Structure 1
Amino acid sequence: MTVESDTVAGATIELLEARLRRLSYLLTGNSDWIGVPSTPTKPTSHEETISRRLASLEKELQKLNKSVPAVRDIIQLHDQNQDLFHPTPPETIPEGLTPETLSAIVLSYASAFPETASRLTSLNDLPIPDAQSSAALIELQPGLDRAAQKQAEQAAQISELRIRTARVLQRWYEVGLVGSGECWAEWEGRLEGVEREVRRREVFKERRENEI
């Protein structure tokens, strides 16, 4: 075999393998972590084979066709108008159309032709901007870029100041409010202890005086 024949044979085998993997995925719906479809498991019985399952589906469809009028109408519609279920690509002209049909299709878009022509004509009527004005606008662009950069820097500084302000408020709350409250609570506890000691000594002094 020549090199070209080997290349064609290899490409054909690759295409067949790709179709086989696609069929395997359609049958199983499973794949491994790299996307390779899983191999279909061997049927445990004759009833689980693909042919028997397709035959069973056909029997169920025939039963529905006999018992459900809507299914019967859909099957009849499919048989009579298969083009509706297989539409023609827009880039290809359907075969079998008469000149009258083609002219009717073209005339249905006739109203869009004057509108498109008027829009194209309006483009010619638009005035061309003055060259000096355009040059002045172009000269302003570097200044606008610098102003935008300055605005971005100011926004970053404002964001940093907000973060620092939030940290200062948090610190003031923890130290100024919570810390002061804990300090006052400690002082109040000490004062209560001193008051109890003073009262105890006064009571002890009164008892000594009464005994004397």
Structure 2
Amino acid sequence: MYYIVEKEILETRISRIENIVYGVNNMTSAEDISLDIFSLINFIEVEINKLVKESEILKKMLYLFDTYSFLLDEKFSSFKVYDALQSEKNQMVFSNMSLYNTVASQMLSIKELPIPNSDVYLQVAANIYQLHIMFMSIESVETQLNFLSRRIAKILELWYEIGIDIVNDCFLEWDGRINNLNSKIQKFYTLNI
């Protein structure tokens, strides 16, 4: 949630800066910006300083560019287009800002992964056949267990039915005896009265 809000704020501010630098008039802010170049530069500087204060990514980027300023030099050989303006390079950096956090975390996670010993791969390759046999035996045991569980369920169901039938027979027999005894007691009681 916080990342989305921060991303929207950064996108809004960067779009304002791009609109000011390139002269496009579709700004989201209702601020009145002077056409004076000096005030435009001051405004851009203020906005960038605000961005830097609120974003750790930008702080790290600016530290990186301060430390390795030759990365943005025109003579640096990794840039294919030598006539690219500084503003275009900055636009490229700012437009891909959302990727820096993702790439940095991925690079850190790759760095933290231990590289296993090469013997581990050889041992795994040597044991693939045994692993395959083990998986097949596990599958066979699972099939047998499924069959046994179905048989046990059927046996328990039969025991339940037999138990119910026996209990019902017992209750019927007891009811019959009690009714017989009640009828004898009533006969005896009617004869004695």
Q: Same fold (TM over 0.5)?
A: no
Which structure has more relative contact order (CA 8 Å, sep 6+)? It is 2
- When the two structures are superposed, what TM-score results if normalisation uses the length of structure 2? 0.43
Whichever of the two has the greater Rg, that structure is 1
- When the two structures are superposed, what TM-score results if normalisation uses the length of structure 1? 0.40
